[in-house]
Amino acid sequence: MSEWHEISGGVTAPRGYKAAGIAAGLKPSGAPDLALIVSDVEAIAAGVFTISQVTAACVDYCRQQLLSCHSARAILCNAGQANASTGNQGWLDALESAMILAQGLNISSESVLLASTGVIGQRIKMDAFKTGIPKLVEALSETGSDAAAKAIITTDLVTKSIALETTIHDRPVRIGGISKGSGMIHPNMATMLAFVTCDAAVSPALWQEMLSRAADKSFNAITVDGDTSTNDSLIALANGQSRTPAITEMGAEAKKLEAMLTAVCQHLAKAIARDGEGATCLIEVQVSGANNERAALQIAKTIAGSSLVKSAIFGRDPNWGRIAAAAGRAGVPFEQEELRIQLGDFLLMEKGQPLEFDRQAASIYLKENAAASSLPKDVVATDNSNDLNVDRNTVTQRIDDPVIIAVSVGNGKGEGKAWGCDLSYDYVKINAEYTT
Amino acid sequence: MSEWHEISGGVTAPRGYKAAGIAAGLKPSGAPDLALIVSDVEAIAAGVFTISQVTAACVDYCRQQLLSCHSARAILCNAGQANASTGNQGWLDALESAMILAQGLNISSESVLLASTGVIGQRIKMDAFKTGIPKLVEALSETGSDAAAKAIITTDLVTKSIALETTIHDRPVRIGGISKGSGMIHPNMATMLAFVTCDAAVSPALWQEMLSRAADKSFNAITVDGDTSTNDSLIALANGQSRTPAITEMGAEAKKLEAMLTAVCQHLAKAIARDGEGATCLIEVQVSGANNERAALQIAKTIAGSSLVKSAIFGRDPNWGRIAAAAGRAGVPFEQEELRIQLGDFLLMEKGQPLEFDRQAASIYLKENAAASSLPKDVVATDNSNDLNVDRNTVTQRIDDPVIIAVSVGNGKGEGKAWGCDLSYDYVKINAEYTT
């Protein structure tokens, strides 16, 4: 039994948060494009950002802010322009954005964190932005999470949101989150954004540690096409409004909180993987028996990221050989005689050698699990376009029954999971066919 | 001007080599499937093999042979069964294969090197193999390179072959090579095989060094889909029959020989990349200005391997943002203000910021270069199948006019090149649609 349960409310489920999302005219389509999350009080803030050498102004800005000050009141996100590869002017735009919002909220601009997603090489449309900010602040509400979730997506087919609740010292503690995924944005790249709110009280260093570890087991364990964006950002606030005692070291409460934070991040990450461009199903790769967690995760990620494995799953092909090959090239030493591969309930390989199995039944397993996790047909049919003219409704996305690939490489205690999606014709279509 | 020129003859162009290729009944299709390269005298032998933890019996066998003895007379290759994931029986089959060939050639079985390509998990069909060996030995000829080149391919659209000649101490020295590439082999993976012959006399350690460096600049610098096979092998023989003085240290002659060896390997590697599954063109990524060669190569490989870049090129889309993003995530530090991106003659980005350029003309550049390097239509149309029932004729493959992506990341002296191909619908089709 989990130590937590799911609740509604997304980022406004935890106490002391408001959110909003509006259409400010940044997206050419007129879809919602400006999102705001605000804590009633100064919150401990932590962040994990893209490892790319090419970074958007908002990423540079957040890194600098969090280095000097581990707290924030607001997260502001614009969709439409990435404000990456925009040079010094992009940096000045970021500073001005923070200042304008700070004035609107009547807080210090040091309490503002920024995120952007959209077209790389384009500055934020500052006129529309300035006009939008008062409306955005006006729209803030304790039920504003869905509006914010809609305003941060670009070519995502669905919005992504979750909230969980547990009990610490007999009081409810909540963590909520929203994310956007890997819809390709003309003319550039997939951007992953996730914002998490929590009402526990945690020390800054511990909160950052927890978030970094959670990111490694979630956002850093998903792959759509192996590409990393200039704007990838995960920001998490903890505002203490649950009125529970401050957590300052890794005791039982801290572990409980970190486990729930990890679960929130994993839900948001899996939702991104499932909504990968052109994907027809979510794939979960479980690796065990490695020498350590890091090695297991490395193998899991390599399998989840293999174009050959991904296209086999799209073809509903129980192709153990490609899984074995991907495991073998992960850069992690293991004895091939120890390799064991399972697809759902079908044992495909043991002791490094292929087994006889019911190929047809295994293929049916793939078909059925893909169908179980498929999106409503009308969403896919009408919205699988590659522009910014999208305004998704919140539709239910099933991520509970992924295709499961379980691999064991020995007797070690290292375990790890990674998530990905299959590689379909539509991936190529979405990414090849929009300028010519 | 190059210090060498191209000649005909493939692996039998250098003095003292014979080759053969026959249909022995290993492939269900009846296409040629057994290839042999023999040196008249014991030759210095070097090899580079897959880095996968899951290795075929032939790879284990060659590694062991080359560890104990740096010479060989024969390279035997079967196509049809990979003899990987076949356990101890596969190992015994490999030993027996070498012994049978050694008897047929009347040489020591220690002088035999082995390579296999085909279906993983399947043993070599030993009965057909045994019947085939005498015919294969009988077919050996000084003009047998093309027959061998045909017998090692599986789903390749074309055979790959090259021979170059230079002069050392006023005598001609030749290096020839054949390779097979990344056609997907049911039910598993792409296998890269390359066999190189040379008639210079080189010391074993130096020959291995040269081959390893050449491999890093060629076979290790190409990517089709990032997957690595259990059977990848590069084997090179140097038999001294040019009657030139033995090269034992890195002087001028050694450098000349290594440069030509590298050119042979690069030709064979580029031919593999161009023939990547579903590919419509060859892409060359040139990186300069990095701190060192290794860093440059790392960036080049990351760009060439990016699914987003590959699908943009398939769409004939001059998408600088995806190139910048791939460069940024290569794991090599650089200042984004130093980033410069050129596509053919079109400067797309400078000092980290996008430039105005003629998008339509750049797209035409992509179209024209793809057309220049395209295969004859009938080859693609009739042979783009995904089984082993293929018997390709030697058709001309143009690899001289690739799509060129040139990236500079600073003022360092590190330069590197990598090659890849675009990502098309056919890649997904070939890899998804054959079992269901």
Q: At which residue do the structure tokens 């958007």 appear?
A: A56
pLDDT of B148 above 60: yes
Q: Mark yes or no for CB contact B54/A339 under 8 Å.
A: yes
Residue numbers in A near B425 (CB within 8 A): 425, 428-429
Tell me which of A185 and B295 has the higher pLDDT. B295
Q: Quick check: B161 contacting A, CB < 8 Å?
A: no
pLDDT of B76 above 70: yes
Which of A51, A53, A87 faces B353 most closely, judged by CB atoms? A87
Residue numbers in A near B305 (CB within 8 A): 226
pLDDT, average across residues A389-397:
46
pLDDT, average across residues B160-177:
96
Query: Which position among A55, A86, A154, A191 bears the catalytic label?
Result: A191
Q: Which helix (H) or strand (E) holds A89?
A: helix A87-105
Q: Quick check: A267 contacting B, CB < 8 Å?
A: no
Q: Mark yes or no for CB contact A315/B434 under 8 Å.
A: yes
Which of A55, A321, A336 faces B187 most closely, judged by CB atoms? A321
Q: Mapped to the 3 state alphabet, what secondary structure does A297-353 carry? A: HHHHHHHHHCHHHHHHHHCCCCCHHHHHHHHHCCCCCCCHHHCEEEECCEEEEECCE
Residue A99 CA to chain centroid, in angstroms? 27
* pLDDT computed for residue A380 by the predictor: 42
Which of B314, B321, B332 faces A187 most closely, judged by CB atoms? B321
Label residue A397 by pLDDT band (50, 70, 90). low
pLDDT, average across residues A394-398:
55
- What span, in angstroms and rounded, lies between the C-alpha atoms of B255 and B206? 11
Which of B51, B54, B329 faces A324 most closely, judged by CB atoms? B54
Tell me which of B376 and A238 has the higher pLDDT. A238
* pLDDT computed for residue A133 by the predictor: 98
Tell me which of A230 and B256 has the higher pLDDT. B256
Strand partners, A160: A179
Q: Mark yes or no for CB contact A329/B225 under 8 Å.
A: no
Dihedral sign for Cα A109, A112, A113, A116, please. negative
Q: What 8-state DSSP symbol labels residue A374?
A: P
Tell me which of B189 and B122 has the higher pLDDT. B122
* pLDDT computed for residue B375 by the predictor: 59
CA torsion B242-B247-B251-B255 (nearest 10°) is 50
Tell me which of A385 and B194 has the higher pLDDT. B194
Q: What is the pLDDT of residues A425-435, one digit of tens each?
A: 887 877 776 44
* pLDDT computed for residue B374 by the predictor: 62
pLDDT, average across residues B410-416:
97
Residue B112 CA to chain centroid, in angstroms? 21
Q: pLDDT over 70 for what percent of chain B?
A: 90
Cβ within 8 Å of residue A67, ≥6 positions away: none
- Interface subset of A 48-107, CB within 8 angstroms of B: 50-55, 85-87
Residue A45 tokens, joined = 């803030």
Q: What is the pLDDT of residues B320-349, one digit of tens each?
A: 888 998 999 898 999 999 999 999 999 999
Q: Mark yes or no for CB contact B87/A353 under 8 Å.
A: yes
Angle at the Cα of B315 (from B311 to B321), degrees rounded to 5? 65
Q: Quick check: B218 contacting A, CB < 8 Å?
A: no
Tell me the pLDDT of chain A averaged across its residues.
88
Q: Mark yes or no for CB contact A322/B227 under 8 Å.
A: yes
Q: What is the pLDDT of residues A103-132, one digit of tens each?
A: 999 999 999 999 999 888 889 999 999 999
pLDDT of A280 above 90: no
Q: Mark yes or no for CB contact A120/B324 under 8 Å.
A: yes
Q: What 8-state DSSP symbol labels residue A245?
A: P
**Selected residue of B55, B287, B307 to mutate for chain A interface (largest A Cβ count, 10 A):** B307
Which of B121, B230, B324 faces A328 most closely, judged by CB atoms? B230
Q: Quick check: A316 contacting B, CB < 8 Å?
A: yes
Half-sphere exposure of A131 (CA within 13 A, CB side): 8
Q: What 8-state DSSP symbol labels residue A190?
A: B
Assign A375 to helix, strand or coil: coil
Q: Mark yes or no for CB contact B189/A55 under 8 Å.
A: no
CB–CB contacts below 8 A, A to B: 228
| Omega before A333 within 30 of 0, i.e. cis | no
Q: Mark yes or no for CB contact B54/A328 under 8 Å.
A: yes
Among A396-400, B132-136, B246-250, the range scoring the smallest mean pLDDT is A396-400
Label residue B433 by pLDDT band (50, 70, 90). low
Q: Mapped to the 3 state alphabet, what secondary structure does chain B carry? A: CCCCEECCCHHHCCCCEEEEEECCCCCCCCCCCEEEEEEEEEEEEEEEECCCCCCCHHHHHHHHHHHHCCEEEEEEEEEEECCCCCHHHHHHHHHHHHHHHHHHHCCCHHHEEEEEEEECCCCCCHHHHHHHHHHHHHCCECCCHHHHHHHHCCCCCCCEEEEEEEEECCEEEEEEEEEECCCECCCCCECCEEEEEECCCECHHHHHHHHHHHHHCCHHHEECCCCCCCCCEEEEEECCCCCCCCECCCCHHHHHHHHHHHHHHHHHHHHHHHCCCCCCCEEEEEEEEECCHHHHHHHHHHHHHCHHHHHHHHCCCCCHHHHHHHHHCCCCCCCHHHCEEEECCEEEEECCEECCCCHHHHHHHHHHHHHHCCCCHHHHHHHCCCCCCCCCCCCCCCCCCCEEEEEECCCCCEEEEEEEECCCHHHHHHHHCCCC
* pLDDT computed for residue B5 by the predictor: 96
* pLDDT computed for residue A327 by the predictor: 94
Distance from CA of A283 to the nearest CA of B (A): 15
Residue B338 tokens, joined = 């130093």
- What span, in angstroms and rounded, lies between the C-alpha atoms of A407 and A419? 14
Q: What is the pLDDT of residues A126-180, one digit of tens each?
A: 999 999 999 999 999 999 999 999 999 987 888 999 999 999 999 999 999 999 9
* pLDDT computed for residue B286 by the predictor: 98
Q: Mark yes or no for CB contact B227/A85 under 8 Å.
A: no
Q: Looking at chain B, which residue has its C-alpha nearest residue A230?
A: B325
pLDDT, average across residues A384-404:
56
Tell me which of A227 and A125 has the higher pLDDT. A125
pLDDT, average across residues A348-374:
87
pLDDT of B405 above 50: yes
Label residue A413 by pLDDT band (50, 70, 90). very high
Q: Mark yes or no for CB contact B319/A354 under 8 Å.
A: no
* pLDDT computed for residue B249 by the predictor: 95
User: First vs last Cα of chain A: how many Å apart?
Assistant: 53
Residue A37 tokens, joined = 């999350």
Distance from CA of B231 to the nearest CA of A (A): 10
Q: Are B190 and A287 in contact (CB under 8 A)?
A: no
Which of B121, B305, B435 faces A317 most closely, judged by CB atoms? B435
Distance from CA of A133 to the nearest CA of B (A): 28
Q: Mark yes or no for CB contact B427/A428 under 8 Å.
A: yes
Nearest to A386, CA basis, from A83, A81, A157: A157
Q: Mark yes or no for CB contact B435/A227 under 8 Å.
A: no
Q: pLDDT over 90 for what percent of chain A?
A: 68
Beta strands in A181-258 (DSSP E): 193-198, 222-223, 233-238
Q: Mark yes or no for CB contact A121/B321 under 8 Å.
A: yes
Q: pLDDT over 90 for what percent of chain B?
A: 68
Q: What is the pLDDT of residues A297-314, one digit of tens each?
A: 999 999 998 888 998 899
Label residue A207 by pLDDT band (50, 70, 90). very high
- Interface subset of B 20-59, CB within 8 angstroms of A: 50-55
Q: What is the pTM of this model?
A: 0.84
Q: At which residue do the structure tokens 């010292």 appear?
A: A169
Q: Looking at chain A, which residue has its C-alpha nearest residue B299?
A: A53
Q: Looking at chain A, which residue has its C-alpha nearest residue B303?
A: A227
Residue numbers in A near B86 (CB within 8 A): 353
Which of B314, B336, B423 faces A54 most closely, judged by CB atoms? B336
Tell me which of A337 and B389 has the higher pLDDT. A337
pLDDT of B400 above 80: no
Rounded to a whole number of angstroms, the CA Rg of chain A reads 21
- What span, in angstroms and rounded, lies between the C-alpha atoms of B162 and B194? 11
Residue numbers in A near B338 (CB within 8 A): none
- Interface subset of A 371-400, CB within 8 angstroms of B: none
* pLDDT computed for residue B118 by the predictor: 85
Q: Quick check: B311 contacting A, CB < 8 Å?
A: yes
Which of A85, A321, A328 faces B353 most closely, judged by CB atoms? A85
| Omega before B354 within 30 of 0, i.e. cis | no
* pLDDT computed for residue B392 by the predictor: 43
Q: What is the pLDDT of residues B257-292, one digit of tens each?
A: 999 999 999 999 999 888 887 888 899 999 999 999
Residue numbers in B near A320 (CB within 8 A): 121, 187
Q: Mapped to the 3 state alphabet, what secondary structure does B302-350 carry? A: HHHHCHHHHHHHHCCCCCHHHHHHHHHCCCCCCCHHHCEEEECCEEEEE
Catalytic residues of B: 191
Q: Mark yes or no for CB contact A85/B424 under 8 Å.
A: no
